[in-house]
Structure 1
Amino acid sequence: MTLSDEDKITIEKFALQNAVKYGKTPQLGAVMGRVMGACPHLRPLAKDVGPMIQHILDEVSKESPEEWQSRLETIAPELIEELNTKKEPDKGLKPLDVEEGEAVVMRFAPNPNGPPTLGSTRGIVVNSEYVKKYGGKFIIRFDDTDPQTKRPMMEAYDWYIEDCTWLDAKPDQVVIASDRMEVYYDYARKLIEMGHAYVCFCDGGDFKKFKDAKEPCPHRNQSPEVNLEHWDKMLAGEYEEKAAVVRIKTDITHKDPALRDFGAFRIVKTAHPRPEIGDKYVVWPLLDFEGAIEDHKLGMTHIIRGKDLMDSEKRQGYIYNYLGWEYPKTTHWGRIKMHEFGKFSTSGLRKAIEDGEYSGWDDPHLPTLRALRRRGIRPEAIRKFMIDMGVGETDVSISMDTLYAENRKIIDPIANRYFFVWDPVDLELEDGACCTVNPSLHPTENRGVRCIDVGSRLKVCSSDVESVKVGDMLRLKDLYNIEVTSVDPLMCKCLGDSMEDAKAKKMKIIHWVPDDGINVKVLAPHGEFTGIGEKQIVDELDNVVQFERFGFCRIDSVSDEDDVVAYFTHK
């Protein structure tokens, strides 16, 4: 087919607009989409139009950015105007309600029963970003006062600090709740003395009956002196687990049952995993009480919490009112759902790891920061991803592709390119066209070349040649054209290195690796891939590279035998 002059101008103007916008030669797909949208008559001919668009892009690539700008101003000045006026949708963080001269203090308060996941990362990034914006103080507070049900994991304390630092969210202060038990005991005693708290001996079922009936339990009206006596016995370990609970008095007739006389302390005789704590305490605060005290003691000015925790704020409000404190300014946000991971819990992941379902907390299947870091996701991409999401009460359902797109912008210009052949088969060249080729390390950045010695035998992907037949012609990328002369075994003859011939004859382009390449294993969320790669990959330890036609990968390890293990980053 032949394009009309008008079609050629349309292609050129969209190619130039893309080049001017991003400062580099456009990708075929980006321009193809704009062209097909503007030229519906070309859609049925997309297969034929693609090479023609690529030819125009090749011509554009020969020009400088100044020439792109000048030519676009000549043929489509309206697209220049579009670039100048088009606004990005509102993203990012809205201003906090901050009074003049107010010193902003914000916190992230994880339970350290596992490392940070993508879900908890939002709290780390957003709170730290607000503090940076207002020149305030960012606190990490470990809410580790449940040594039984959500038992802390010793390694997780350090992992949180490491991951926060990696995310450029290093805390100004680190607080561990289990170190501050005496503070919580002091306030419990004070509330009991004031008559705002009592020791309840009802079992759970009986108390629920009283609560549902909006009636006080038999212990609610005990005198402060009696309650203090029971409190001291609790601390001394004289009561068994579940025998006694300290409750905060509220409105027992409140319309919301969750706000009626809520629990503040319970007896847990399981030793805490921190050796300096161990079995030192048997009475542990529940999260609403511990968090209420700490937010005041640490001078919190602003809190961002999930909208599902609104009841916590209302319960804590009673404590603040009794003690004459002012509650911090609070913002709520909705849940995040990542399409690729669905619902998950840290405790569930921990059990799956213990059962051998995953190799560890950095397994590429997991949504932990440790796993994402090992895969080659950059902290700058994660920060931007979380900040752009903003703070709102609407639940957010989002794909990892959004994060991958941010990461791709960062790693694409710096990742060297290499061939990796997975599920390889042998390809023998009849005429033994031995040579040395030097493909570029990067298609647009001037960073040098690779040196590949080509012999008479190569490795290619089985999927690339599974349906070839004698007489078929293929293009070995960055090498030469070949014609299939035998299928079993696979043998070919060299046809020369003309790229024009390859385009004219519409040859399929495949990649390859010399027969003496290195062993490569790629661990990915969608499977494990083994194959052969270029020898120079061993020099890329801990770097992210792009395996052409496969995806970006981080080189995780290189053995003494030069065997490589890589973690898949994304396409």
Structure 2
Amino acid sequence: MSSQKGFIAGLADVKSLAPLPNANRYSQIITRFAPNPDFVLHIGSLRAVFLSHDYARMYQGKFILRFEDTDPRLKKSVLEYYGQIEKDVKWLGCQWDEEYTMSDRVPIYYEYAEKALGQGFAFVCTCEPDQFKAIIESGRACPHRSRSPTENLELWRKMLSGGLKEGEAVVRVKTETTHPNPAVRDWPAFRIIDPEKYPHPRVGSKYRVWPLYNFSAAVDDHLMGITHIIRGKEHLTNAVRQTYLYKHMGWSYPEAIEYGRLKMIGFKLSKSEMVKELEEGLVDGFDDPRIPTVASLRRRGYSPEALRKIVHEMGARPVDATLSWDNINATNRKEIDKLAHRYNFIPNPVPMDVDHVSQAFVAHLPLHPELPSLGNRTLKVVPREGIARIWISGTDLQVFEKAKVVRLMELFNVEIHSTSPDLVKATFHSQEYAKARELKARLIQWVPDEQHISCEVVMSDATKTKGFGETNLLGEQVGSIIQMVRFGFGRIDSKEEPLTVYFAHK
């Protein structure tokens, strides 16, 4: 419980969450996050996981992680994604109290299927799909709806044993056949999936009859004592369906909180499109910077605290919300700017030879301009026969067209004599910063020839910007979030040459 108290104390810097409806009716608040491991988590998953976890912690309740993996045909799970989702959820700061995997619980769903069939509020339908659709859309009852419990249980056993094949039978839960929404009418609860053609990645060909979402989720929500279901409003119809099963079973339906849809500006959020891009090799893995997965955000240097703030601002309101990279980046910048160490990165480097340098110079640059307690980093320039070589960015060559005197940041002032894409020649002018201010000299970023390393920055479109960084970068750990001065924020991905940084944003 101490970790929960610590989390609650940490909510002071974010917008408060609205109270849960009817929270006082329950001795313990229990929520769940139930991903399908057919892909990793992405930006669209954030509201469900953050709100479910944070509300449980706010009420000192229980948070459950539950893998919904009971469709080996259309939403086939991938073994790698179970562990990756766990990693994502932990990185987001949403440690769960209990974990379940639905494919381990199939016998439980069978038990409740037999109860439903035996008590007459479910039946085995052997209609052709098109035939059932025509019947139900007309408001009529399926001819198999009147089968006795004995007949239904016999057909159920044939489904399990292989006497009925894929597509030949479906277990349906009885509702009103004239319900205003045809999708609610006698909804499907179990179907046969050919276990040889579509083996499950975890349990292989062990089962041939699988529950559909509305049955397995409803049973588990009851058995696990879920008090509040927090999900998108695309589940409104599912809530209506599940309510029928709860009434049949004599259970009380949990509080259902459906938040509005999320409109994305500047990027796609379709899981199917991301999976397709991955399968076709259009992106390089699920943490590719071009797709908005949680793994990609982590790799690029986004902060879970920033993502949590964004979700808390949206809350669980039923109104639709809009999110853009500008929103995300602005919030993330406020978070990571607080502690990100500053380093010089020189894209497209060009050498500059400065003559008349009579001594070595040492520049002491702060790791963070507003946090002197973090200390400084040191860059040293040592001339050889009066000439000091440093490296500047090729993008700064245009500055020299108008400014003949520039200041190398925290070092000294130089007078430019000649420029080319291969070499800039300059002369030591003066050391004092006051002189640079007097001359209105532009500030130029640089690294010394003696203290530079090859770097590569992977941009958000997966292109690579090559350049030189200062050797002080080697003192950082892989995973450190840094600011490349005048270039942007990023996360160190590898320290092998070239040192690789994944770019987050300006």
- Confirm or deny a common fold (TM above 0.5): yes
Provide the rounded CA distance (Å) in 1 between the counterparts of 2:41 and 2:349.
38
Matches of 2:207 and 2:424, distance apart in 1: 73
Q: Distance in 1 between matches of 2:184 and 2:13?
A: 40
Residue 497 (1) aligns with residue 431 (2): yes
In structure 2, the CA distance between the partners of 1:155 and 1:324, relative to structure 1 (3 Å rule), is: same
Q: Distance in 2 between matches of 1:470 and 1:136?
A: 65
Correspondent of 2:465 among 529, 537, 542:
529
Aligned twin of 2:406: 474
CA deviation vs aligned residue, 1:221-255 (integer Å, no higher than 9, x gap): 22222221111100112222111111112111122
| CA distance in structure 2 between the aligned counterparts of 1:232 and 1:349, rounded to whole angstroms | 39
SS, match of residue 397 in structure 1: strand
Q: How many residues align?
A: 480
Displacement of 1:123 after TM fit? 1.2
Q: Pick from 229, 234, 244 the counterpart of residue 159 of structure 2.
A: 234
Q: 1:157 to 1:343 in 2, by over 3 A?
A: closer
- Equivalent residue of 1:257, what SS? coil
- Structure 2 match to 1:541: 477
- Please say which of residues 463-472 and 497-506 is displaced more in the overlay: 463-472
The alpha-carbon deviation at position 113 of structure 1 amounts to 1.1
Query: What is the distance in 1 between the residues matched to 2:258 and 2:413?
Result: 61
1:394 lines up with 2:316 in the alignment? no
Equivalent in the alignment of 2:44:
119
Alpha carbons 1:556, 1:566 under 8 Å: kept: yes
Letter in 2 for 1:282: R
Preserved contact between residue 26 and residue 227 of structure 2 (Cα < 8 Å): no
Pairing partner for 1:457 from 364, 389, 414: 389
Aligned to 1:95: 19
TM-aligned CA deviation for residue 436 of structure 1: 2.7
The Cα of 1:90 is off from its aligned counterpart by 10
> Which residue is equivalent to 1:199?
124
Query: How far did residue 272 of structure 1 move?
Result: 4.0
Instruction: State the distance in 1 between where 2:25 and 2:119 align.
Output: 36
User: Which whole-Å CA distance do the structure 2 matches of 1:457 and 1:273 have between them?
Assistant: 62
AA paired with 2:495? Answer: V
Secondary structure of 1:308's partner? helix
Mapped to 2, the partners of 1:100 and 1:282 lie a distance apart of 40
Q: Which moved more, 1:472-481 or 1:428-437?
A: 428-437
Q: Is the 8 A contact 1:145 1:284 kept in 2?
A: yes
Deviation at 1:176, TM superposition (A): 0.8
Is 1:509 the equivalent of 2:435? Answer: no
Q: Does the 8 Å contact 2:362/2:411 carry over to 1?
A: no
Identity of aligned residues (%): 39
Give how far 1:440 is off: 2.2
Aligned Cα root-mean-square deviation (Å): 2.1
Question: Which residue type is aligned with residue 29 of structure 2?
Answer: V
The amino acid of 1:480's aligned partner reads F
Change (3 A) 1:549 1:311: same
Q: Secondary structure at the match of 1:259?
A: coil
Q: CA shift at 1:211, angstroms? A: 1.3
The CA distance in 2 between the partners of 1:251 and 1:414, in whole Å, is 59
* Counterpart residue identity of residue 371, structure 1: S
Aligned partners of 1:177 and 1:105: how far apart in 2? 18
Higher helix share: 1
Q: Does residue 356 of structure 1 match 2:281?
A: yes
Correspondence for 2:136: 211
1:394-473 → structure 2 map (5 Å cutoff): 394-432=319-357, 434-446=360-372, 447-454=374-381, 455=383, 456-466=388-398, 468-469=400-401, 472-473=404-405
Matching residue of 2:113: 188
Change (3 A) 1:539 1:89: closer
Aligned: 1:279 with 2:205: yes
Larger strand percent: 2
How high is the TM-score relative to the length of structure 2?
0.90
> Does 2:186 match 1:261?
yes
**How far apart, CA to CA, are the structure 1 residues paired with 2:475 and 2:342?**
13
Q: Single out whichever of 469-478 and 140-149 deviates more from structure 2.
A: 469-478
SS at match of 1:437: strand
Q: Is the 8 A contact 2:460 2:504 kept in 1?
A: no
- The separation in 2 between residues aligned to 1:317 and 1:327, in whole angstroms, is 6
Q: Distance in 1 between matches of 2:399 and 2:405?
A: 12
Give 1:161 shift: 2.2
Equivalent-residue separation in structure 2 for 1:103 and 1:424 (angstroms): 60
Structure 1: distance between partners of 2:63 and 2:399: 60
Q: Deviations over 1:503-556 (max 9, x none)?
A: 233222221122341000011214321100101111112211211001122111
Which amino acid counterpart does residue 28 of structure 2 have in structure 1? A
C-alpha separation in 2, matches of 1:267 and 1:240: 7
From 283, 298, 304, the counterpart of 1:373:
298
Name 1:34's counterpart in structure 2: none
The amino acid across from 2:391 in the alignment is K
Residue 89 of structure 1: how far off its partner (Å): 13
- After superposition, the C-alpha distances for 1:270-290 in whole angstroms (9 at most, x for unaligned) are 444444x11010111110111
Aligned to 1:484: 416
Contact 1:470 1:484 in 2 (8 A): no
Q: CA deviation at 1:317?
A: 1.1
TM-score, normalised via structure 1 length: 0.80
Deviations 1:292-317 (A, max 9, x none): 11111111111112111111011111
Shift of 1:442: 2.0
CA distance in 2, matches of 1:202, 1:122: 39
Matched, 1:152 2:77: yes
- Residue 283 of structure 2 aligns to a residue in which SS? coil
Alignment check: 8 A CA contact 1:140 1:175 kept? yes
1:553 to 465, 490, 493: 490
Which protein has greater RCO, CA pairs closer than 8 Å, 6+ apart? 2
Shift of the alpha carbon at 1:118? 1.7
Q: Secondary structure at the match of 1:341?
A: coil
- CA distance in 2 between counterparts of 1:392 and 1:316 reads 22
AA partner of residue 311 (structure 1):
T
Is the 1:353–1:361 Cα contact (8 Å) retained in structure 2? Answer: yes
Question: Partners of 1:90 and 1:368 in 2: how far apart?
Answer: 23
Q: How far off is 1:263 after superposition? A: 0.8
The question of whether the paired residues in 1 share the 8 Å contact of 2:116 and 2:122 is answered with yes
2:216 aligned to which of 290, 305, 309: 290
More moved, 145-154 vs 376-385: 376-385
- Residue 460 of structure 1 and its aligned partner are, at CA, apart by 1.3
Q: Does 1:518 align with 2:450?
A: no
- Distance in 1 (alpha carbons) for counterparts of 2:402 and 2:364: 29
Matched with 2:502 is 567
